[in-house]
Structure 1
Amino acid sequence: MFIGAYVGARPLGRPLPPLADAPTHPAVPLHLLYAFARDPAHDGMFQFYDPYQLECACSQQCGSQRGMLSLAGAGFAWGPAVPLDQWVANAAASLQALMERYNLIGLDINYEEGLDGPAGDSFAPAMAGLIGRLKAWRPQLLVTIAPFDAVWGRYKKLLQLAGSSVDYTHWQVYAELESPDTTAEQVVAAYERLAAELGGYSKLTLGVNTEPDERRGAQLPAIVEAFRVLRARGIGGAFVWALDNSCGCGYAAEAALLRLAAED
């Protein structure tokens, strides 16, 4: 089962937490999704958007933690400035170099902007081509995507083109159900709808937002209740935005998710 947490994006200016303090479980690894890698010239030449922060994170990775690289994130729009074939080739080469250098096991596609209108038409073919190249390079590479309702159409097209190569869909349910009063029943209903679209729960993960000041989405008691229900239905796991936020409350969400994921 996949349990992951984004880390390194400085949400609301928060610094990187000590990764050795993050919770662990002997039976379930914690996947750290390093946020983010971007190609500033939109040419496929990816690099850490905050090299100091993310290099520090990679160097701290320890124990059962597993590192992944997340692309783009909020504030960085899709829009290649070179021919698509060249973008895919450049992206594959630059991302392979980053993953080898920092011993990362997977890639997370997290574009949120620039996907509307004709400009977004190239997104799914480009990402499918990139995934194909990276899987040919390393067949065991873990590939995840992180859509929400406003961009779901583009990501559904990507799943049509490369669905068998995408291991998990990290649905940002807190972008759909933003109220902190969201109930477990509402969360479960959202995943019921998605499971019907995707043919099951096994490639879906439950989205959890741990922002302590501007609370967004279901809070921990409702999340735990929803995860128990969805786990019984075969959900693939859960992810947290973000470890940098969770450190202020003792990583309660990550610890609970790891514990529940390990239950028989």
Structure 2
Amino acid sequence: MDSSKLSISLLIFHLLSFNIWIIPGNSSKLFREYIGAENSNVRFSDVPINAHVDFHFILSFAIDYTNTSSPLATNGDFLVYWDTNNLDPHQILAIKSKNPNVKVAMSLAGDTVNDQFVYFNPTSVSSWVANAVRSITQIVKKYNLDGIDIDYEHFHADPYTFAECIGRLLFYLKQNKIVSFTSIAPYEDDSVQPHYLVLWQKFGHLIDYVNFQFYAYPKGTTVNQFLQYFDIQSSNYKGGKILVSFGTDGSGGLSPKNGFFDACSRLNGEGKLHGIFIWSADDSKKANFQYEKQSQEFLASA
């Protein structure tokens, strides 16, 4: 990474007014799916793709840990941890060539690696950002990626340090057209949400989508409870495109069997539905992606 170029970009970053918001497209026909975290041999081509929606695959995960049996934090030096045997650069080119409505992003961090928590653990803001810019740019170019998602869930740093590091990273990636869209993946937890709220308050203008993990709410969530949760998070991330979600891994929240699409219908009728995402293709494979099909059919007809 050219250090002078990075310094100039960060100077521009500090001079910009953060009252100017980048507004993505207004389409509610956005479907997103995490893929590759569980080494289940799932391929892009396995997942049904409806030509009438905007489809984002989100590779899971790139992690700033050493790629060993006992991984250690590396201060922003990211490595690929998704299933590269089935989700490699050639397959990304192939799926995007075959389906013009498909884009591919990567998600950073996630919950665990080799059964150990993945912590956000910067040595300093400047060193973490420099390492992250360099390593992420290399991965984006190698894999021909379009976007980036932030999914840190454990922290050895305060919310303001997290916000400054991630904000500077997103600014550089967008300013230099390395990625065309960004997202964050928070959930309701006292040790997690405060980090994302500070990030949103300072740098929400750089974030196109909020992949809120509604499946982190308790099992048995009702439609009315789900809609209340949605309104709360819409207030927390005011002005943001909050995507609704469910998991196919047996996690909590409102499931498709218990009224998820009823909730989507109500949100759509109120002009609040910005898209749907699923965790994850790896888990959906065993059920032949029935809910991926249903979600996309719903969005295509919305």
Deviates more, 1:54-63 or 1:226-235: 54-63
Task: Please point out which of 131, 134, 146 is paired with 2:185.
Answer: 146
Residue of structure 1 equivalent to 2:18: none
Residue of structure 2 equivalent to 1:6: 34
Residue of structure 2 equivalent to 1:71: 108
Task: Please point out which of 74, 87, 97 is paired with 1:57.
Answer: 87
Q: Deviations over 1:186-237 (max 9, x none)?
A: 111110112233335x6100021111xx442222131111112222332211
Residue of structure 1 equivalent to 2:245: 207
Please say if 1:91 is aligned against 2:132. yes
Please say if 1:218 is aligned against 2:254. yes
Task: Please point out which of 43, 46, 53 is paired with 1:18.
Answer: 43
> What is the deviation of 1:73?
0.2
- Richer in helix (by share): 1
Amino acid paired to 1:196: S
Q: Deviations over 1:134-189 (max 9, x none)?
A: 1111176210000001111110110111111100111111112x21x222221111
Q: Which aligned pairs between 1:92-241 and structure 2 lie closer than 5 A?
A: 92-114=133-155, 119-138=158-177, 141-150=180-189, 151-176=192-217, 178-179=218-219, 181-200=220-239, 203-211=241-249, 214-221=250-257, 222-232=259-269, 233-241=271-279
Deviating above 2 A after TM superposition, structure 1's stretches of 4 or more consecutive aligned residues are 58-61, 118-121, 196-200, 214-217, 231-235
Structure with higher Rg: it is: 2
Answer whether contact 1:79 1:120 (CA < 8 A) is retained: no
Secondary structure of the corresponding residue to residue 221 of structure 2: coil
Percent of matched pairs sharing the same residue: 27
Equivalent pairs, count: 251
What's the TM-score, normalizing by structure 2? 0.78
Amino acid paired to 1:182: T
What's the TM-score, normalizing by structure 1? 0.88
Note the residue ranges of structure 1 that are not aligned, 5 or more in a row: none
Q: Using the alignment, how far apart are the partners of 1:138 and 1:96 within structure 2?
A: 10
Residue of structure 1 equivalent to 2:22: none
Secondary structure of the corresponding residue to residue 16 of structure 1: coil
Give the superposed CA RMSD: 1.9
Residue of structure 2 equivalent to 1:47: 79
Change in 2 beyond 3 A, CA 1:113/1:215:
closer
